[in-house]
Amino acid sequence: MWRSVGRLADGREIIYFDESPGTGRAAVADPRPLDPFSPAAELRYDPLLDEWVALAAHRQNRTYLPPPDQCPLDPSAPGRATEVPAPDYDVVVFENRFPSLAAAPPGAPPPSGPDDPALVRRPGAGRCEVVCFTSDHSASFASLGPRRARTVIEALADRTAALAARPDVAHVFPFENRGPEIGVTLHHPHGQVYGYPFVPPRIARMRAAARAHRDRTGRDLFDATVAAERAAGHRVVAEGEHWTAYVPAAARWPFELHLFPLRRVPWLPDLDDAQRTELAVLLPDLLGAFDGLFDTPAPYVAAWHQAPVDTAGAPDPGFAAHLQVFTLRRAPGKLKYLAGSESGMAAWINDVAPEEAARRLRAARGARAAGTETGGTE
């Protein structure tokens, strides 16, 4: 993989991850007349839940479901300049034009004062990046061949380490939202990377549970959980030499997978070559299995859970990096909505037994392997 860095017209960074050298893509100028990049975001503190909430009102004006011939994530073409100046690319990463988190611009709101004692706020520092998996607008991650999937993995590992080194980042979160039911505003196959200035609630709770388990038993919670699922077997969907995918026994979503490396690592940069190679084959296969559950492509979230980082950018060694993939489709034409119990109380009720979900995902993998679904480009 070859990495090169350029700048967009408004000053944002763009990084090309090429599968061959000498492309010169980073040198292609962005001809758009854009104003300097200066987003405004802030964080507000919720004392009842001990959580930070990001406010980013400028995102109301972001691009929303444009027609395919106006997609801003496609490569630029004569007469149509996009977010990617080059006429083609393999994998490309750039700063989000409408970020939820960004370094505070001049004139950012000051901390709250005595006139509003309920308001505790600070600048919404951090970074949000877009990761385009392929220049092919009609593709999907499931259709990527192993080489391209490996390039995406390398890009995510690279961006994890780079963002973790920033003084305003406490946690790096790579993820893919897919499908309008999830809330996707651009159909081009892409993901995102958030550099949070705080540890998100899910990661904080997971880390606290792991520490409590170690204090109580002397064992690692992540290793124990994966070992128990492997021993039970009936919720395991895929097992490789280096990875295991299973539906968790207490799955919250109708169809949900957890994908763990068997050699525990705190974050993506610590995956070795063998782990990355197998992941590049297994991940498109698993995402393709989600598409095989119903007669329409699955809306899903693929979320990498990684270790929080310290002030020097080093990951917590007691955490175990893993991928959570879930879809909110529970049956043909039916979605799982987060209604009163989930949204009001954060108390989850699942409509599909995890054991049945695992059986159906295994069957979808088998059908894909038998050739009833096609894929494997790039």
φ, ψ (nearest 5 deg) of residue 193? -135, 125
Q: By C-alpha distance, which of 293, 280, 259, 256 is closest to 368?
A: 293
DSSP annotation of 95 reads: E
CB-count burial class (<10 Å; 0-12, 13-18, 19+) for 250: exposed
Tokens 């310290």 correspond to what residue? Answer: 310
E strand or H helix that includes residue 163? helix 146-164
Spot the catalytic one: 171, 190, 305, 322.
Answer: 190
Q: What does the alpha-carbon distance between residue 365 and residue 120 come to, in Å, rounded to a whole number?
A: 49
Q: Residue 318 in contact with residue 210, Cβ under 8 Å?
A: yes
190 is catalytic: yes
* Residue where the block lists tokens 């950012």: 108
The C-alpha torsion from 248 through 249 and 253 to 256, rounded to 10°, is 30
**Which residues carry out catalysis?**
190
